[in-house]
Amino acid sequence: MAASNALVQPLNYYSDPRLRKELFERDKWKCQYCGEKVTEKNATSDHRVPQAKNGTDLPENLATCCFVCNS
């Protein structure tokens, strides 16, 4: 079998609406910090361990949150 030079693109929870929705559904459409209900229009995601401290973009390191808690 020939080797492939194709790059595997990582999952992007910021730009892929389907993946964002999966994250929000996992967290039951609630901000994981204050408990407020969120919608697709006002939901954001936050890194539990910041990328600056080697946090990943994997789902287990992402939390659904409202704009207030993610500012």
Q: Where are the domains of the chain?
A: 17-66
Q: What is the pLDDT of residues 2-26, one digit of tens each?
A: 555 555 556 666 678 888 899 999 9
* pTM (two decimals): 0.76
Q: What is the mean pLDDT of the chain?
A: 86
User: CA 8 → CA 5, 16, 54, 62, distances in Å?
Assistant: 10, 16, 20, 21
Count Cα atoms within 13 angstroms, Cβ side, for 33: 16
